Structure 1
C-alpha cells in the first residue's frame, strides 16, 4: 500500500544515520579485535589464509568509515530511485561527493568479491591445494586485483549510467521535496528511472542494473558453487587429513555457511530490492535507504562469526583476557601492599612524634 502523499521520510534518514553510527563503532571494535587476534593471539598458522582474515576486516572498517562520512541514502519512487547524499563532508564540492558515492558503491562490490575469494580459497584448500599458490607471495595481488576490478566496474557503471539527467530530475523532484524536503538539483548522487513517459525502457539507465546484476551473479555463483561442492565432498577429503586439520576445516566451513546467510540478508537482498523495484513500475514510495544501514553491520557480524566458530580465536581471546585480569590483579595488589606499608610506617612514627611535643 502506498504511503500518504504528505508523509515525511526525514525520520527514516535519522534512524539510518543512527544505525550507521552503531555499525561503524561495532565494526571498528570487532574487526580490530579479529585483526589483533589473528596477528598476535592465535598460535596456529593459517598460512596464506591469514591475508584474507586480515584484509577482509580492514576493508570492512574502511567501508563503514566511508558510510559514516557520507551518510548515503536511497529513495524509491515508482519506476525510479535516487541514490544520494545531502551532506558536504570536509566542505567538498557536489561533484566530488558524487564521485565518493560511486567510490562507496565500488567498495561494496569489492567486499562481496572478496567474500567469493574466501570461498574459493577454502574450496581449493580441501580439493586442490596446489592452486593455493595463487594466494602466496606476489600472487596474492591477483586476488586483490580481482576484487578491485569488480569494484571499479561497479563504481564506473553507477556513475556513468545513473548520472542525473533532466528527465530523472523532473520525475523525482516533486516527491523528493515532499518526502525529504530536499531539492534534487542540490544533491550529490545518481538516479535511475527505468521507463520514459511513453513506457519505453530507458536502456542507458537500466544498463547500470544489468552491470550490477552481472557482478552479483558472478560472485554469488562462485560462493554457491564452492559451498555446494564442499558440502558434498568434504567428508571424504577430510578423512585423509589429521584430526586437527579436519577440525579446522570443519570450523571454517561452518563459518562460510554463516557467511552465505549473513551477506545474503545484509548485502545482497537490500541491493536487489533497490535495483529491481523500479523495473516493476509499481505505484510505491519507499525510504529504501533504511536498508543501506545493514551494510555497516555486516563486517562486525562477519568478524563475530569467525571469532565465535573458530575455536582458536575463542582460546586466544580467553588467554588474552586471562593475562589482562592477572596483570590487573597484580597491579591492584601492589597498590594495596604499598598503601598498607605506608600506613604501618606512619603508625610507627606517631609515638616518636608525640614524644617530641
Structure 2
C-alpha cells in the first residue's frame, strides 16, 4: 500500500491539472479538461489521455496489491522470488496495462468533427462550455452520417469494450480470486487450530478487513467506470453520476487506510486513545519478575 499511497500523489497531481468533467449522451460519453488548460488543445488532450492511463495504473496496482497478499499467504514458497529488488517485478503489469489503455485512448478517442458536434448542445446547456474549444476525448459507439445512416465507430468499440473493459475485467478477476483464496487460507481450521487466542482474534479482524477492502473498490471504482463505458452501447445515460469514478479513485488510498485503522483493534485503540487490556497472566509474570 506504500506504493499505492505514493502513486496516489501523482494521480492527484494529474487530476488537479485535468479536473475532468464527464458526461454521457446517447451512444457516447465525453471526458474534457476543465482546468486552466481546457483551451490548450494539444496539452489538454494529452492530459485527458494521461488521466485515463493513470486510472488504469491505479486499478491494476490495486490488483497487484491483492496478488501480493495471495502470494505471501497462500504461496509462501514463491514469496522469496519477490524479496529485495525482485519486488519491482510486481510493477510490470500495471505499467504495461496503463500504457495499453493510454495508447488506446490516444489513438481511438481523440477529438473529431462529428464527436464535437454530437456533444456540443448538451455540454453547452449543462456546463456552459463549447466542445469546439475544449480539449477532450470521447467514446462514440454509433453516429449518423450525412445521409442519416447509423454508422458503427469501430475504433471506439475496440478502445472501449475491446481494451478498457477487458483490462478492468482482468483486474477485477484478480482482486476477487486472490481475495477469496487469501480469505480461505486465513480461515483454514488446520491453520488456525495451532494459533493462540490472540492470533486467532487478529485473523478474524483481518478477515473482515479483507472483505471490506475488496468490496469498496469494486463498488466505487470498477462498477461505476464499467457502467460509464458499457451503458452508452445501449444508449443509457448516467447524468451527473458520470463524474463519480474520478472522485472515488482519488479517495481510495485514504479510505483503504481508514478501513484498516477502524477494523483492527490495536489501531483503533490508538486512534481513540484507549488503553490496551492487560491479561491477568501477564501481570502475574511481571510481578514474579519484580520479586526476584
Give the TM-score, by structure 2 length.
0.81
Contact 2:19 / 2:35 at 8 angstroms: preserved in 1? yes
Cα distance per residue 1:224-271 (max 9 Å; x no partner): 112222333433253376436555554444322112211122211221
Aligned to 1:16: none
1:118 to 53, 65, 88: 65
For 1:187 and 1:274, the matched residues in 2 are separated by: 21
Task: Please give the per-residue CA displacement for 1:63-93, whole angstroms capped at 9, x wherever unaligned.
Answer: 233223321010111111111113225x993
Equivalent residue in structure 1 for 2:111, among 160, 164, 167: 164
> Among 27, 42, 45, which residue is 1:95 paired with?
42
- Counterparts of 2:217 and 2:59, CA distance in 1: 8
- List per-residue Cα deviations over 1:28-82 (Å, max 9, x = no partner): xxxxxxxxxxxxxxxxxxxxxxxxx311122223323322332101011111111
Measure how far apart 1:290 and its partner are: 3.0
Aligned to 1:256: 210
- Is 1:70 aligned to residue 21 of structure 2? no
Partners of 2:16 and 2:35 within 8 A in 1: no
Q: Does 1:225 align with 2:172?
A: no
SS state at 1:184 partner: coil
In 1, Cα distance between the equivalents of 2:266 and 2:95?
30
Instruction: Find the aligned partners of 2:224 and 2:133 in 1 and give their Cα distance.
Output: 26
Q: After superposition, give the CA deviation of every residue in 1:96-125 in whole Å (9 maximum; x if it has no partner).
A: 122122222222111211221222222222
The answer for the alignment partner of 2:290 in structure 1 is none
Provide structure 1 residue ranges, at least 5 long, that are not aligned to the other structure: 1-52, 323-357
For the Cα contact (< 8 Å) 2:183–2:210, is it kept in 1? no
The whole-number CA distance in structure 2 between the counterparts of 1:241 and 1:253 is 18
Distance 2:82 2:201 in 1: 22
Match of 1:290 in 2: 243
RMSD: 2.6
Q: Secondary structure at the match of 1:185?
A: coil
Contact 1:120-1:222 within 8 A present in 2 as well: yes
Is the Cα contact below 8 Å between 2:143 and 2:151 reproduced in 1?
yes
**TM-score normalised by L of structure 1:** 0.67
Inter-CA distance 249–55: structure 2 relative to 1 (3 Å threshold): farther
Mapped partners of 1:123, 1:88: distance in 2: 43
Change (3 A) 1:129 1:315: farther
Give how far 1:196 is off: 2.5
C-alpha deviation, 1:288, in angstroms: 4.0
SS at match of 1:270: helix
Aligned residues: 267
Q: How does 1:297-316 map to 2 (within 5 A)?
A: 297-314=251-268
**What 5-or-longer segments of structure 2 have no aligned partner?**
276-292
> CA offset at residue 164 of structure 1?
1.2
1:312: how far off?
A: 4.7
Paired with 1:159 and 1:138, the residues of 2 have a C-alpha distance of 33
Greater helix content: 1
Report SS of the residue matched to 2:35. Answer: coil
**3-state SS in 2 of match to 1:186:** coil
> Is the CA contact 2:30–2:136 (under 8 Å) kept in the aligned structure 1?
yes
When residues 246 and 106 of structure 1 are mapped into structure 2, their CA distance, relative to the original with a 3 A threshold, is farther
Find the counterpart in structure 2 of residue 211 from structure 1: 163
Hey, what's the Cα distance between the residues in 2 that align with 1:153 and 1:86? 25
Which is bigger in relative contact order (C-alpha 8 A, separation at least 6)?
1
CA shift at 1:195, angstroms? 0.8
User: Do the aligned residues in 2 keep the contact of 1:79 with 1:278 (CA within 8 Å)?
Assistant: yes
**Does structure 2 conserve the Cα–Cα contact (< 8 Å) formed by 1:71 and 1:85?**
yes
Cα drift, residue 159 of structure 1: 1.9
Alpha-carbon distance in 1 for matches of 2:141, 2:227: 14
